Chain A
Amino acid sequence: MVEFEVKGKVWKFGDDVSTDAIISGKYKFKTLNMKELAQHAMETLNPNFAKKVNFGDLIIAGKNFGCGSSREQAPRVLKELGISAIIAASFARIFFRNAINVGLPVVECEKAAKEINEKDIVEVNLEKGLIKNLTQNKVYKFNPIPTFLLNILKVGGLVEYLKQYGGYEV
């Protein structure tokens, strides 16, 4: 189950974070063990990330987050580390779909992506389309995720969704 309200501390990244940067090809071909892969998440961008990230933390990033390869291991390792949501100015489309499919909430909000700082405490309400920056005391609105995608998130991802719904209900 994905909570509709998530809250946590922010890790901030820049524009065009590629799926190669999230999890390098040199690791992902060797195993399907996400725990093992997750130890290398974001390592070229922030070597401390995988060691220091806490369950519930959020990622804030610039434009085109998750560009490049279609590897689903990218959102999976972030979820494995406990990332509760990603807020970005924009997402690359395959990453966006993959994140929903593995039950990792993704939110597009350019203003929030720009103004929220590393280590801020942020709360996101997915259903209402609200981001609250508790550190800076600011509120942002975003276009809520379409209902059928929210339903995929609600049950924790596409595997559960198809088990429950049998097919896509758009």
Chain B
Amino acid sequence: MVEALTGQTITEKIFSLAVGKKVFAGDIVVVPVDLAMAHDGTAPLTINSFREMGGEKVWDPNRIILVIDHVAPSSFEGTSNLHKLMREFTHEQNIKNFYDIGWGVCHQLMVENHVTSGMVVVGADSHTCTYGALGAFATGIGSTEMAAVFKTGKLWFRVPETIQCRFTGEIPPNVMAKDLILHMVGEIGADGATYKAIDFSGDVVKKLSVDGRLTLCNMVVEMGAKSGIIQPDQKTYEYLKSKNRFPKTMLKNDPNIKFKEIYEFEISKLEPQIACPPTVDNVKSVSEVEGLEIDQVFLGSCTNGRIEDLKEAAKILVNQKIHPNVRMIVIPASRNVYLEALKEGLIEIFVKAGCTVCNPGCGPCAGAHQGVPAKGEIVLSTSNRNFVGRMGCAEAEIYLCSPITAAISAVKGKITNVNHVR
């Protein structure tokens, strides 16, 4: 009888299917994972721990994905040695899903090539939560836990409670998914969703492209969430189909659910948003910091390096030049995005505008190459973190914004609200 009254969230259903019995938030379960991903910042330690555990053969080489993206190509000898360790491991373990330098950011490669609705996915990277946008349960774990997954194919979880987030109203012009999620982070704070799943529902989310939905789920960890989730729909299906994949399941929330919390954000009058240093939840309207001179702009990352992001930025940069005092670094999130951008003429627009286009990967976001700022400099970035020292210099300040705000600000040489220009 209790079951009849208690509906399940998508996340509870994914876990239930994975363990073969009905489970609810709060239950601790040991779950077989569908996919396990690690990159050059985390895989070397995973490989070490795997060996220390007495690991000889990984549980399933076809379910493991390894990516070199954080410092790619390597800029230090030490890093090169860690990359070599990864390459040797992939050969030894017969791991076919290995993406060496230039393929792109791990999360973009996962959504383009591997993840599908209904899966349980773990990644040794906090932004693994991105894949919830395709209706999968996906979360970040550490290197030694990943080693345990490599060895056993399983991991323990506490099934999370779900917070529902409903964006309502009409998306204003020049406001992107990034502005919506920055707004939410600002409202609920850097620990506002710790241990929880965030379910994005409502008409606004339905209208967003898959690219935009990925941006939403990418940043749930900036509120401490375990995972983000968006109910798969026709758009999800078409996206997967275009990549020759099909959903494992197309799950929905039951109607009779008690969410842990429900947040509703009316966004019809939302202005472009910006996260100010030194925390991601220090969010303001762009207008509040308008006029601040900037030194470097980064367009890219697992948050905003997809084709829609590049297109929106290119619309602003076409027939324009970036300000002479600004460097602008553009990095497509993957080789596929890069090729599409080439085909559509976007790369030509960026180069003619004076941008520096780098190979697909994490770029300056990881703080080790491709645009480490100097002391006292101000960086405007479409990525997801602005912590002190994040980009490799503790005395530089990082502001986070949408691709549109990044592009118009690069042209003006200062933080600019695009709605005040046109």
- Which of A4-12, A49-57, A90-98 contacts its partner? A90-98
Instruction: Quote the shortest CB–CB distance from A17 to chain B (angstroms).
Output: 10
Assess whether A63 is in contact with B191, with CB atoms less than 8 Å apart. Answer: yes
- Complexed CA–CA distance, A107 and B140 (Å): 21
Q: Which of B144, B155, B190 is within 8 Å of A159, CB to CB?
A: B144
Q: Which residues from chain A contact B143 at a C-beta distance below 8 Å? A: 72
Per-position 1/0 for B180-208, Cβ under 8 A of A: 00000000001100110000000000000
A1 CB-CB contact with B under 8 Å:
no
Per-position 1/0 for B43-83, Cβ under 8 A of A: 01100110011100000000000000011000010110010
Q: Which residues from chain B contact A163 at a C-beta distance below 8 Å? A: 53-54
Assess whether A72 is in contact with B385, with CB atoms less than 8 Å apart. Answer: no
- Complexed CA–CA distance, A33 and B14 (Å): 39
Nearest to A64 among chain B residues (CB) is B191
Q: Which of B42, B82, B151, B372 is within 8 Å of A70, CB to CB?
A: B42
Q: Which of B147, B368, B387 is within 8 Å of A21, CB to CB?
A: B387
Residues from 13 to 32 in A contacting B, C-beta threshold 8 Å: 16, 18, 20-21, 24-26, 28-32
A84 CB-CB contact with B under 8 Å:
no
Q: Which residues from chain B contact A102 at a C-beta distance below 8 Å? A: 144
Assess whether A20 is in contact with B44, with CB atoms less than 8 Å apart. Answer: no
Residues from 114 to 163 in A contacting B, C-beta threshold 8 Å: 146, 148, 157-159, 162-163
Assess whether A98 is in contact with B385, with CB atoms less than 8 Å apart. Answer: no
Instruction: Quote the shortest CB–CB distance from A20 to chain B (angstroms).
Output: 4
Are A25 and B82 CB-contacts (below 8 A) given A67-B224, A93-B224, A168-B154? no
Are A24 and B42 CB-contacts (below 8 A) given A70-B142, A101-B145, A168-B156? no
Chain B contact patch, size range? 35 or more
- Complexed CA–CA distance, A140 and B191 (Å): 23
Residues from 27 to 46 in A contacting B, C-beta threshold 8 Å: 28-32, 44
Instruction: Quote the shortest CB–CB distance from B59 to chain A (angstroms).
Output: 11
B41 CB-CB contact with A under 8 Å:
yes
- Complexed CA–CA distance, A44 and B393 (Å): 10
Are A70 and B140 CB-contacts (below 8 A) given A16-B279, A32-B82? yes
B342 CB-CB contact with A under 8 Å:
no
Q: Which residues from chain A contact B124 at a C-beta distance below 8 Å? A: 70
B366 CB-CB contact with A under 8 Å:
yes
Chain A binding surface SS class: loop
Q: Which residues from chain A contact B388 at a C-beta distance below 8 Å? A: 18, 20-21, 44
B392 CB-CB contact with A under 8 Å:
yes
Nearest to B125 among chain A residues (CB) is A70
- Complexed CA–CA distance, A162 and B385 (Å): 34
B394 CB-CB contact with A under 8 Å:
yes
Assess whether A64 is in contact with B389, with CB atoms less than 8 Å apart. Answer: no
Q: Which residues from chain B contact A168 at a C-beta distance below 8 Å? A: 30, 154-156
- Complexed CA–CA distance, A68 and B48 (Å): 23
Q: Which residues from chain B contact A71 at a C-beta distance below 8 Å? A: 41-42, 142
B141 CB-CB contact with A under 8 Å:
yes
Q: Which residues from chain A contact B372 at a C-beta distance below 8 Å? A: 26
Assess whether B45 is in contact with A72, with CB atoms less than 8 Å apart. Answer: yes
A48 CB-CB contact with B under 8 Å:
no
B226 CB-CB contact with A under 8 Å:
yes
Known: A18-B385, A97-B145; 8 extra A-B contacts, CB below 8 A, are A18-B388, A25-B70, A30-B82, A44-B389, A67-B191, A94-B140, A158-B49, A159-B52
* Residue ranges of B at the interface with A (Cβ–Cβ < 8 Å): 28-30, 40-42, 44-45, 48-49, 52-54, 70-71, 76, 78-79, 82, 124-126, 128, 140-145, 147-148, 151-152, 154-156, 190-191, 194-195, 224, 226, 279, 366-368, 372, 385, 387-390, 392, 394
Q: List 29 A-B contacts (CB under 8 A).
A: A16-B191, A20-B387, A20-B388, A26-B368, A28-B41, A29-B71, A29-B76, A29-B79, A30-B78, A30-B82, A31-B82, A32-B48, A68-B126, A68-B387, A70-B124, A71-B42, A72-B144, A73-B45, A92-B191, A92-B224, A93-B224, A97-B142, A98-B142, A158-B53, A158-B144, A159-B49, A159-B147, A167-B152, A170-B29
